[in-house]
Structure 1
């Protein structure tokens, strides 16, 4: 059963990513919301991962809003804050840290490497599909994002570890 949940977690993330990137702020946002609900009802639980998903979503929204203000991206109709679809992508990413991407947490170089490669690839591919502007150009944007994600992804795994330990401690305390 755990393998099914890992596969479901990866598929839910990919499906949500596509719906967000291709659908933008439209009715397609129902897809990542359903993906989050399926995650919390079947793959994991709100008690176990709610704090992580919300933390990743808020941190990501702040980071992407900052990068937007710094001129790294441009979104049609969005001048100061990351759009809702991008914020939902961060929530979806939060669901993967203890599941299909857990392998990348240790040793830390895996998180650094995956962040440095996967982060920029996701942004560049997403920008192309979603019509997001990259005023610095693809190459410069990718290089900048590689540096950002080489730091951010290990930090997100740190959140995951911290909240996982808090949850375990709470569960042990309840059993006593």
Structure 2
């Protein structure tokens, strides 16, 4: 349904200010959690859930924890509201990764066939997002700007296409059809 797209994308767009602005105000624990929980409850309902949603959630949370913890460990970034530890990616960043996982197969699935485009957009958009977060006070750039831009831009330029590619993998067969298509055909035969 068309409204499923808009609810998914709307909650995704709300997740960034709820987490980032919430972190700068010290309230991301409830603002970010509220928005992303609503998104998860909505999107993971059996009627709307994609077969690979859970796999992408665990994958995004793992990658997000490692990548954003790497920025902290490398001395590139420091996060406001660094709960549970100043040495690792904070909880509110992981909420953003969860929100990302919930759009891969839904409102942003159009990028599954446009991996180069999403790589370019990720390479440009991620440093801008970290910069905007720094302007709100949720992230502090500890290294020279060119290092932060290069590290975040390059990592996201590679990571986003990989995530969209992986989101498209479950159920694929060698003949190009999905297992779901084959099951529905055999059920109607």
TM-score (normalised: structure 1): 0.84
> Any conservation in 2 of the 1:5–1:43 contact (CA below 8 Å)?
no
Question: Structure 1, unaligned stretches of length 5 or more?
Answer: none
Question: Structure 2, unaligned stretches of length 5 or more?
Answer: none
Partner SS, residue 22 of structure 1: helix
> Any conservation in 2 of the 1:116–1:147 contact (CA below 8 Å)?
yes
**Residues 128-149 of structure 1, C-alpha deviations (whole Å, 9 max, x = no match):** 2243111124443123211111
**Total equivalences in the alignment:** 174
Between the aligned partners of 1:81 and 1:122, the Cα distance in structure 2 is 19
> Any conservation in 1 of the 2:60–2:98 contact (CA below 8 Å)?
yes
Q: Of residues 53, 69, 74 in structure 2, which corresponds to 1:65? A: 69
**Residues 59-100 of structure 1, C-alpha deviations (whole Å, 9 max, x = no match):** 111111112111111124443210011001001001111222
Q: Of residues 99, 103, 106 in structure 2, which corresponds to 1:99? A: 106
Measured on the aligned residues, the alpha-carbon RMSD in Å equals: 2.5
Residue 44 of structure 1, CA deviation: 2.5
Trace 1:6-21 onto structure 2 (pairs within 5 A). Answer: 6-21=5-20
TM-score (normalised: structure 2): 0.79
Specify which structure has the higher proportion of helix.
1
Between the aligned partners of 1:4 and 1:147, the Cα distance in structure 2 is 34
Pair 1:49–1:165, CA change in 2 (3 A): farther
Residue 46 of structure 1, CA deviation: 6.5
Name which one, 1 or 2, has greater alpha-carbon Rg: 2
Trace 1:27-176 onto structure 2 (pairs within 5 A). Answer: 27-28=30-31, 29-41=33-45, 44-45=48-49, 47-76=51-80, 77=82, 78-163=85-170, 165=172, 168-169=178-179, 172=182
Partner SS, residue 74 of structure 1: strand
Between the aligned partners of 1:126 and 1:43, the Cα distance in structure 2 is 34
